[in-house]
Amino acid sequence: MQQPFRIAPSILSADFARLGQEVDDVLASGADMVHFDVMDNHYVPNLSFGAPICEALRRYGVTADIDVHLMVSPVDDLIRAFLDAGATHITFHPEATLHIDRSLQLILDGGATAGLALNPATPLSTLDHVLDKLSMLLVMTVNPGFGGQSFIPAMFDKLRMARAMIDAGGFDIRLEVDGGINPDNIGEIFDAGADTFVSGSSIFSKRSDQDPNRYDSIIKAFRQPLLQRSR
Ligand SMILES: O=C(CO)[C@@H](O)[C@H](O)COP(=O)(O)O
């Protein structure tokens, strides 16, 4: 059975100088998977990291799901690189490829699950005719490119519409949100239909370097409103 909700810390806001430890710590504190924000300074105006970091984390011993969000254009070469590097799931933006269906099939043929990410102004109709290939729909709740931005309130309606579309079609698609998610708004975002929550700055900025369980209290704060609603 699917987990009713999943917390996916974005390593974009982690301490890169000790990334393996950061990932170990956040997973030990109760995070469900690791979210990889890949930026190319072309599709988005920022540069982050590529497949060698994913491969290094697998070699280091990370066995949790690695949820890759490609903010790059074109996408196919990096899809292949992340498949080879051990990604569990790969999401890309429909505007970033000329052939959405072919890029989705490339992911599926490589043994990962596939997702599409919609920017705040990209309509849900973009997903027409490919919903059967998706395991995840990522609704961007900020404009992509940077951590630390505020959740865009108009995304509540979009989430409700996305949830209705998934449920009406009977699809097994998780509804992921990314951008400005924190313990104060996560409950309301869950109520709007999301079930998978990416967060970067609100998790990694709360670390306490003195505490060996440095992410316990912040992951608990994210889970609490969801646990109350799932009962
Ligand atoms: O992906 C992006 C931006 O493109 C970010 O939204 C991070 O993944 C989450 O950052 P916070 O908003 O949680 O700091």
- Whether 195 is catalytic: no
Distance in angstroms (rounded) separating the CA atoms of residues 219 and 229: 16
Q: What ipTM did this prediction achieve? A: 0.96
pTM of the model: 0.97
Helix (H/G/I), strand (E/B), else coil: 46 = coil
- Over residues 70-119, the pLDDT tens digits come to 999 999 999 999 999 999 999 999 999 999 999 999 999 999 999 999 99
32 DSSP assignment? -
- Tell me which CATH code domain 7-207 carries: 3.20.20.70
- Over residues 204-228, the pLDDT tens digits come to 987 777 777 789 999 999 999 999 9
Give helix then strand counts, H and E, for the chain: 8, 8
How far is ligand 1, taken at its centre, from the CA of residue 231, in Å?
28
Of the candidates 173, 153, 151, which has an alpha carbon nearest to the alpha carbon of residue 162? 173
- Whether 178 is catalytic: yes
Whole-Å CA distances, 191 to 60, 122, 171, 230? 37, 22, 19, 10
Answer yes or no: is 180 a known binding residue.
Answer: yes
Task: Determine the average pLDDT of the residues in 53-69.
Answer: 98
